[in-house]
Structure 1
Amino acid sequence: MKHGTDLGILRTFLCVYRSGGVAKAAVLLGLSQPAVSRHLKTLEGIMGRPLFDRLGRGVAPTQAGVLLANQIAAHLDALEGAMDALPPPSATAPVLLGAPSDLLSVHVLPKLTPLLARGVDVHCRIGLSPELAQTLLHDELDLVVVTKIEQAPTKQLHLRHLREEEFVLVGRAGEAPYVPETDTRRFIGYSPTMPMARRYFRTCWGIQPPAPALTVADLRTVVAAVAAGTGLSVVPRYLAQEALDDGRLSLLHTPVAPVSNSIYLATRRGREHLPQIKAAFELLCPAI
């Protein structure tokens, strides 16, 4: 579109126009109130003028809002009618889930079999926690797995504890213990910022880790690279344990207390009671 406006934003505008309020439109559209407000703000930015006057118990369209509604209403209604005439692809909408690849395969997907057995489709997206959290806030995902160290915007999210992960400093089998003051060996990171290594080094020694010589956004590949002698890394124990047990990796440091991090399942606040999202929470994070 010439102005960069998508149909979803126009649909939100028209629903607010017809219902007379952001809260009412949010219920009708199945969106959160912040999402509806954000759509209106985006459209008003594109139009360069306010489309509604905010009242105490709702909104009233401005002259520009009335004009826009008159121009688009018939077209959007025709599109809605055409879509309604199509047969639904499935009885229920899919759950859109995002997570880092290792957490998805080890701690998430194996627990979702009952959801699939109910006929609910699950579409997954792999990525880093900060990116996935932002995608969730833009209503492009229903659920994401986030970590505390990623500084997720918790005020906008409903979070439930998924698990704790312990971090270990590892090297290839036979490597000498790590000495932070003098060690010059290279590091491998999950990302350039190396949040796991930063947590580990700050907790154990009160310093920052060396910058990574190699980064790869897949922790299994990181573990394989360490076992091949490419460098050292701080990784979750559950991914390194098999290689530690069979002698391909060595622990290079034993902290006084385990260094761990909390992992959460998140949805946008206000959506946690939707049936399919609630079902996913119950399967992945059952109440103790």
Structure 2
Amino acid sequence: MDLALLRTFLAVHRAGSFTRAAALLGLSQPAVTGQIRSLERQLGRPLFLRQARGVTPTTVGEELAHKVAPHLDALLEITESGLDEDSAKRTLHLTGPPEFTSLRALPALAPLVEHGLTLRIAFGPAEESLDGLAAGHHDIAISTHRPRGELLTATPLCDEEHVLVAAPRWAARLGGPAVVRAKGARSLERVPVISVHESMPLLTRYWSTVFDTPPTASGAVIAPDLRAVLQCVTAGAGMAVLPRYLCTDALDAGEVVALHDPPVPPLRTYFLSVRVGTLAHPHIARAHEWLLRAAGDW
């Protein structure tokens, strides 16, 4: 099978469009279309579903991309580097929230560093990260916002479960989750609130979703990092809504306890966002794929 056809196929798969793939490859759109049709004839199966705005891969296309991408990327790196080991290195500029990026994304990408990838990390809120991505300051943005417009494209990464936690003494004083379940938000009115921002985003969303009412208290402690919030909760300063991944160890150790166990806990979705067409770059595509693969265990 002609490797050029596979290279074109992979470019279309990553760009999501014949037009964008053609621009990345320096080919005309009819040439790209012709190569994809030739590959589909050889395989006897359709690889893409044509839509009004671009294309989406079929299940066969997804399987083929998963199989050929690592090998084509490796060949491309060899040819681009001219067998010069130093020039084969690539720098990935990643941005995202400090806690999730530090505890989830960076450990997942660590094995790629051993194979020559260099990382530059920037922390920031969702809007700032996406603006920086659009401006070309970053290669991949992790955020809880799905970007709008046609310049950026996003892939769901994982869902984050939120838990209402406090130190054991607060749980004992309240009477435990059964009392909170019976009395609702009223049972929590005297517990100090700890949050990352004055707007108390996680707690406000939890109250609206679980108790169907906005919170009445203001923050007793505001610390702009969820890890600091957890430390304050552990020390007994009050209650907070935290991602389960962040407080699982503290819950298992009995340092904090869940004050409530709603039937359907609030969730927040993280997205991987890139500029359209940049997944044609092997180092970005590899990091993107590596994060998606790791998220299956999160």
**What's the TM-score, normalizing by structure 2?**
0.61
Secondary structure of the structure 1 residue equivalent to 2:169? coil
Which letter maps to 2:239? L
Partner in structure 2 of residue 136 of structure 1:
133
Q: Are residues 1:205 and 2:211 paired?
A: yes
Question: What is the Cα deviation at residue 93 of structure 1?
Answer: 4.1
Question: What is the Cα deviation at residue 213 of structure 1?
Answer: 2.5
Question: What is the Cα deviation at residue 233 of structure 1?
Answer: 0.6
Q: Are residues 1:239 and 2:250 paired?
A: no
Secondary structure of the structure 1 residue equivalent to 2:154? strand
Which letter maps to 2:126? S
Structure 2: gaps (5+ residues): 1-19, 26-85
Question: What is the Cα deviation at residue 97 of structure 1?
Answer: 0.5
From the superposition, tell whether residues 269 and 202 of structure 1 become closer, same or farther in structure 2 (CA, over 3 Å): farther
Partner in structure 1 of residue 166 of structure 2:
171
Partner in structure 2 of residue 115 of structure 1:
112
Please show how residues 1-288 of structure 1 align to structure 2 within 5 Å. Answer: 90-148=87-145, 152-153=147-148, 155-175=150-170, 176=174, 177=176, 178=180, 179-181=184-186, 183-209=189-215, 210-286=217-293
Indicate if the aligned counterparts of 2:210 and 2:265 stay in contact, CA closer than 8 A: no
Question: What is the Cα deviation at residue 234 of structure 1?
Answer: 0.3
**Aligned counterparts of 2:150 and 2:194: Cα–Cα separation in 1:** 33
Secondary structure of the structure 2 residue equivalent to 1:180? helix
Give the percent of matched residue pairs that are identical in Structure 1 and Structure 2.
Answer: 31
Indicate if the aligned counterparts of 1:146 and 1:152 stay in contact, CA closer than 8 A: no
Which letter maps to 1:164? D
Q: CA-atom RMSD, angstroms? A: 2.7
Secondary structure of the structure 1 residue equivalent to 2:155? strand
**What's the TM-score, normalizing by structure 1?**
0.63
Secondary structure of the structure 2 residue equivalent to 1:162? strand
From the superposition, tell whether residues 227 and 95 of structure 1 become closer, same or farther in structure 2 (CA, over 3 Å): same
**Aligned counterparts of 2:117 and 2:263: Cα–Cα separation in 1:** 45
Secondary structure of the structure 1 residue equivalent to 2:262? coil
How many correspondences in the alignment?
203
**Aligned counterparts of 1:187 and 1:154: Cα–Cα separation in 2:** 37
Question: What is the Cα deviation at residue 228 of structure 1?
Answer: 0.9
Which letter maps to 1:100? P
Indicate if the aligned counterparts of 1:112 and 1:280 stay in contact, CA closer than 8 A: yes
Question: What is the Cα deviation at residue 127 of structure 1?
Answer: 2.2
**Aligned counterparts of 2:196 and 2:275: Cα–Cα separation in 1:** 26
Question: What is the Cα deviation at residue 139 of structure 1?
Answer: 1.4
From the superposition, tell whether residues 227 and 152 of structure 1 become closer, same or farther in structure 2 (CA, over 3 Å): farther
**Aligned counterparts of 1:113 and 1:134: Cα–Cα separation in 2:** 26
Indicate if the aligned counterparts of 1:158 and 1:272 stay in contact, CA closer than 8 A: no
Q: Per chain length, whose mean CA-contact separation is higher, i.e. which structure has more relative contact order (CA < 8 Å, sep 6+)?
A: 2
From the superposition, tell whether residues 125 and 167 of structure 1 become closer, same or farther in structure 2 (CA, over 3 Å): same
**Aligned counterparts of 1:252 and 1:140: Cα–Cα separation in 2:** 41
Partner in structure 1 of residue 74 of structure 2:
none
From the superposition, tell whether residues 155 and 227 of structure 1 become closer, same or farther in structure 2 (CA, over 3 Å): farther
Once the two structures are superposed, residues 84-143 of structure 1 have per-residue CA deviations (whole angstroms, 9 ceiling, x without a partner) of: xxxxx8544411111222212221112213321231211111222222122212211111
**Aligned counterparts of 1:145 and 1:223: Cα–Cα separation in 2:** 22
Question: What is the Cα deviation at residue 27 of structure 1?
Answer: 6.5
Q: Decide which structure has greater helix share.
A: 2
**Aligned counterparts of 2:287 and 2:114: Cα–Cα separation in 1:** 13
Once the two structures are superposed, residues 68-89 of structure 1 have per-residue CA deviations (whole angstroms, 9 ceiling, x without a partner) of: xxxxxxxxxxxxxxxxxxxxx8
Indicate if the aligned counterparts of 2:169 and 2:236 stay in contact, CA closer than 8 A: no
Once the two structures are superposed, residues 246-278 of structure 1 have per-residue CA deviations (whole angstroms, 9 ceiling, x without a partner) of: 221121111121211111111123323222111
Question: What is the Cα deviation at residue 198 of structure 1?
Answer: 2.3
Partner in structure 1 of residue 56 of structure 2:
none
Which letter maps to 1:245? D
